[in-house]
């Protein structure tokens, strides 16, 4: 057994933000690797909220046994932002001292790692693990959860094809993707969608309807449209379910699929139906790719802790797992590669 080379003996781990398949493989890998190098692992329940409230659980070999194929997170999650209230930040720091946590691994997306970046600047020993089904974090080729979400969305598109063809309908599938259309692009290409609409390129409704009409003119009396939840019409705004902001300043998106479906039916006269996949994309068992990536991320995160590489997050670059500064991963969003989107456009219609 290799002893830790750093002064870390007690390691905390938390999951924050939206859940996704692959979180449990990371937790399992962190725990197994940490125990291997002589660290004790404290699980923080419900993200930053648990660190504020001191809600913890000891993680050992028994507690992480059998969680590899499970979706979600055994630690729970929340969208708590400790920087919203000074008293929460004070309580968080007190909890870290009381629990005698020498270091912390924060698993999350832009918001969770944004908090981690600030805490790292203030001296807290933190290592980040990037997580988002949207695949929009910079400095990593892929995030775990994305592959599972794409597979779920692709299967849904495959199923929509048969019912669309049977009823001669236009089917609109709304998938997740607040700022980046990675899921829409990948699932749309894999599922053979006739139009893919993403936040990176405003929707030209006239062009969409023209593609559908051209398909009908050559005997294709059904069409599949995939749209990311964050897509917007030219000179328009995002479709939102409610205007209320969460603690990180985000509105709850939803409704672009129905708005698009209504316009298509009005302008073409073709019967149109809308399917919103929503949280189906977040749930269920992770794919083999996400299980392996989550495992590799978890192991590397502990290695960064042992090496004293704090303020860093793990990253997939090519086929290598490396460490990069957290602030580089959260500084800018990674939007869809437009070369890939141009390939997708070849198959529109």
Active site residues: 134
| Residue 65, C-beta contacts closer than 8 angstroms, at least 6 positions apart | none
| Location of structure tokens 């998106």 | 253
Q: Are 349 and 214 in contact (CB under 8 A)?
A: yes
Taking alpha carbons only, the member of 216, 126, 223, 213 closest to residue 165 is 223
Q: Distance between the two ends of the chain, CA-based, in angstroms?
A: 59
Sequence-separated (6 or more) residues with CB below 8 Å from residue 66: none
CA dihedral 22, 175, 331, 137 (to 10 degrees): 30
What is the DSSP secondary-structure string of 195-249? EEE-TTS-B-HHHHHHHHHHHHHTT---EEEEEETT--BTT----EEE----TTS
- Closest Cα partner for 107 from 335, 295, 308, 332? 295
């Amino acid at each position: 057994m290799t002893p830790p080379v750093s002064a870390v003996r007690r390691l905390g781990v938390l999951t924050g933000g939206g859940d996704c398949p692959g979180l449990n493989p990371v937790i399992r890998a962190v725990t197994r690797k940490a125990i291997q190098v002589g660290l004790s692992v404290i699980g923080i329940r419900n993200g930053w909220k648990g660190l504020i409230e001191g809600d913890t659980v000891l993680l050992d070999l028994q507690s992480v046994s059998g969680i590899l194929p499970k979706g979600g997170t055994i630690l729970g999650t929340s969208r708590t932002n400790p920087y919203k209230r000074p008293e929460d930040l004070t309580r968080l720091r007190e909890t870290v001292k009381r629990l005698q946590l020498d270091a912390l691994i924060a698993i999350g997306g832009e918001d969770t790692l944004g908090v981690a970046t600030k805490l790292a600047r203030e001296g807290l020993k933190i290592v980040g693990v990037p997580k988002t089904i949207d695949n929009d974090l910079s400095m990593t080729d892929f995030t775990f959860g994305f592959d599972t979400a794409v597979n779920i969305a692709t299967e849904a598109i495959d199923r929509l094809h048969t019912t669309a063809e049977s009823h001669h309908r236009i089917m609109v599938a709304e998938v997740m993707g607040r700022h980046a259309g990675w899921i829409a692009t990948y699932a749309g290409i894999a599922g053979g969608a006739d139009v893919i609409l993403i936040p990176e390129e405003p929707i030209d409704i006239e062009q969409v309807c023209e593609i559908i009409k051209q398909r009908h003119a050559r005997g294709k009396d059904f069409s599949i449209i995939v749209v990311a939840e964050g897509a917007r019409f030219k000179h328009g705004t995002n479709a939102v379910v409610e205007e209320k902001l969460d603690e990180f300043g985000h509105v709850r998106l939803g409704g672009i699929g129905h708005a698009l479906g209504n316009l298509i039916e009005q302008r073409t006269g073709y019967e149109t139906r809308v399917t919103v996949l929503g949280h189906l994309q977040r749930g269920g068992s992770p794919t083999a790719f996400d299980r392996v990536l989550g495992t590799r991320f978890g192991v590397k995160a502990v290695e960064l802790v042992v090496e004293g590489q704090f303020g860093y997050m793990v990253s997939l670059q090519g086929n290598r797992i490396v460490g990069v500064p957290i602030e580089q991963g959260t500084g800018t969003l990674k939007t869809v590669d437009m070369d890939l989107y141009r390939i997708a456009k070849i198959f529109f219609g």
